[in-house]
Amino acid sequence: MDLFPAGLGHDSVGAELARRGVPRREFLSFCASLAALMALPAGSEAAVAAAVSAARRQSVIWLSFQECTGCAESLTRSHSPSLENLLFDLISLDYQHTLQAASGEAAEAARMAAMRENQGKYLVIVDGSVPLANPGYCTIAGMSVADILRETVANAMAVVAVGSCAAYGGLPAAQPNPTGAVPISSLVMDKPVVNVPGCPPIPTVITGVLAYFLTFGRLPELDAQGRPKAFYGETIHDRCYRRPFYDQGKFAESFDDEGARKGWCLFKLGCRGPITYNACATTKWNGGVSFPIQSGHGCLGCSEAKFWDMGPFYQPLSTPTATSRMNLAGAAVAGAAAGLAVLAANLGKKSAAQAAHEPIGVADLVKDKAK
Ligand code: FSX
């Protein structure tokens, strides 16, 4: 199979890779990592390679509003694909405050040119929330960010709201929300919007969503909150390697006790893993090295709506119920095989123990999501 056939458009990813002499083997291994990232079945890499090769380098305009730049910092730690892969091979990042060389009028001219030359085809990524209490609270080149958003998405194909600020309002929207901060989805009604929450989001998840869009020309399957199911389909708790300790009723009571040293469950130290949907426990951070729970710190729930207001941090969600302890007792009596069956049942999407908890914050969360 010729990955970079002669008939490819001059602005295709394949043509660009061929020009730069990227070896076939290297490209295929890159596509294999993309396929794994997108949770595609084994053997999909050839199809991904063909699609990526023929794809046009995607024009992307990245807007940053009320935020801390943690999301862009996270992206720069992307390892698979690396930021370098992403920028030079897959996309044409035509505007991004933190990474672009241009400034002032030249930067704004680049945004206008990208909008003009790629009408209906460019992707808009937004991090940060929009202040509605006063347009002067956040402006770029003399324009309110609400107007910049409106202008930029008018001819866009789709919008990706990166980070909990863009997806839910995040830190700027925490009580008492002095700037009247709102998420992107409350202002963009006529374009597809995908939410990639997290404060910041996992870099692999940001690049995974972009890779999916580039490969298939559409957004991945989303849940009711507009999050890609492939990355936000399960809770941290569902996939946590400390989960067996939870099921056995073994909990650290402080960050330096015997239980903590033995790696027991951090639930009693306020871990929000049971109510937090994200891929930290599987994808991990820093090239797959670790994630907060593996480093001895409970999950703060940063990818859930209103997580700043669901506090205080380190307050346990609730006391583990008798249900999970009963599971342990039953497992012990019935032996190892039965224990594994109980564990398998508990690893289901909503275990009886999880359903019985109704942790603090869940009701609020559901209420917020229903709005
Ligand atoms: Fe918000 Fe991102 Fe947290 Fe910071 O851009 S999601 S405050 S990591 O920077 O928007």
Secondary structure (H, E, C), 10-50: CCEHHHHHHHCCCCHHHHHHHHHHHHHHCCCCCCCHHHHHH
| 189 and 82 in a common domain | yes
Predicted confidence band of residue 88 (pLDDT cuts 50, 70, 90): low
The answer to whether residue 32 sits within a structural domain is no
Residue 7: predicted pLDDT: 60
Q: Is the CB of 36 under 6 A from ligand 1?
A: no
- Using an 8 Å Cβ cutoff, are 260 and 78 in contact? no
Q: Report the pLDDT value the prediction gives residue 36, as an integer from 0 to 100.
A: 80
**Higher-confidence residue: 343 or 42?**
42
Q: How many domains does the chain have?
A: 2
279: domain range? 236-320
pLDDT recorded at residue 5: 62
Q: What is the mean pLDDT of residues 156-178?
A: 97
Averaged pLDDT, 189-210: 93
Structural domain ending residue among the three candidates 274, 289, 320 = 320
Q: Is residue 84 domain-shared with residue 129, that is, in the same domain? A: yes
- Closest ligand 1 atom, CA of 128? 10
Is residue 363 included in any domain, yes or no? no
pLDDT over threshold 90, residue 213 = no
Q: Do 221 and 243 sit in the same domain of this protein? A: no
Q: 118 and 202: one domain?
A: yes
Q: In what order do the strands lie in the sheet with 58-64?
A: 91-95, 58-64, 123-127, 158-162, 193-196
Whether the link from the prior residue into 200 is cis, omega within 30° of 0, is yes
**Same domain, yes or no: 310 and 206:** no
| Omega cis (within 30) before 312 | yes
- Any atom of ligand 1 within 6 Å of the Cβ of 69: yes
207 and 148 inside one domain: yes
Cα 345 from Cα 357, distance rounded (Å) = 16
Whether the predicted pLDDT of 341 surpasses 60: no
Considering only 101-105, 184-188, 236-240, 350-354, which range has the smallest mean pLDDT? 350-354
Residues 110 and 242 in one domain: no
**306 lies in some domain:** yes
What is the reported pLDDT for 34?
76
Co-location of 208 and 245 in the same domain: no
pLDDT surpasses 80 at 72: yes
Pocket test for ligand 1, best of 199, 285, 308 (most atoms within 8 A of CB): 199
CATH assignment of the domain containing 175: 3.40.50.700
Average pLDDT score over residue span 64-86: 84
Residue 42's pLDDT band (cuts 50, 70, 90)? confident
Strands (DSSP E) found in the chain: 58-64, 91-95, 123-127, 130-131, 139-140, 143-144, 158-162, 181-182, 193-196
The minimum-distance atom of ligand 1 relative to the CA of 163 is: 6
Does the pLDDT value for residue 240 go beyond 90? yes
Q: Which of 226-235, 264-273, 341-350 has the lowest mean pLDDT?
A: 341-350
Confirm if 194 and 21 have CB atoms less than 8 A apart. no
Q: Would you report the helix, strand and coil content of the chain in percent, each value rounded to 5?
A: 45, 15, 40
Give residue 141's region: left, alpha or beta (phi > 0; psi -120 to 50): left
pLDDT digits (tens, 9 = 90+) for 268-283: 999 999 999 999 999 8
Which of 75, 125, 127, 308 for a ligand 1 pocket mutation test, highest count of atoms within 8 Å of Cβ? 127
The whole-number average pLDDT for the span 233-240 is 96
Residue 241, pLDDT above cutoff 80:
yes
| Index of the ligand 1 atom closest to the CA of residue 69 | 9
User: Would the pLDDT of 217 be above 50?
Assistant: yes
Please say if the pLDDT value at position 352 is more than 90.
Answer: no
Residue 73 falls within a domain, yes or no? Answer: yes
Residue 349 clears pLDDT 50, i.e. is over it: no
Label residue 149 left, alpha or beta by phi (over 0 means left) and psi (-120 to 50 means alpha). Answer: alpha
Contact 115, 152 (CB under 8 A): yes
The mean predicted confidence, pLDDT, of the chain is 82
Q: Tell me, yes or no, whether 293 lies in a domain.
A: yes
Q: Does 336 fall in a domain?
A: no
153 and 244 part of one domain = no
Q: Is residue 346 part of a domain?
A: no
Look up the CATH number of the domain holding residue 252. Answer: 4.10.480.10
Mean pLDDT on 71-81 = 82
* Strand 139-140 with 91-95, pairing: unpaired
* Residues 6+ away with beta carbon under 8 Å from 72: 62, 64, 96, 97, 98, 99, 127
Q: Are 217 and 254 members of one domain?
A: no
Q: First and final CA of the chain: distance in angstroms?
A: 50
Helix H or strand E encompassing 258 = helix 258-261
Residue 148 shares a structural domain with residue 278: no
Q: What does the pLDDT average to over 341-353?
A: 32
* Cα gap 52→18, rounded to integer Å: 13
Ligand 1 pocket check: which of 69, 75, 179, 303 to mutate, most ligand atoms within 8 Å of Cβ? Answer: 69
Query: Is 337 part of a structural domain of the chain?
Result: no
Domain boundary (231, 260, 278) is at: 231
Question: Are 176 and 256 members of one domain?
Answer: no
40 vs 347, residue with greater confidence: 40
- CB neighbours of residue 371 within 10 Å: 6
Residue 74 has pLDDT above 70, yes or no: yes
**Phi and psi angles of residue 62, each rounded to the nearest 5 degrees, phi first:** -110, 120
Domain end residue (candidates: 231, 249, 284): 231
For the chain, percent of residues with pLDDT exceeding 70: 81
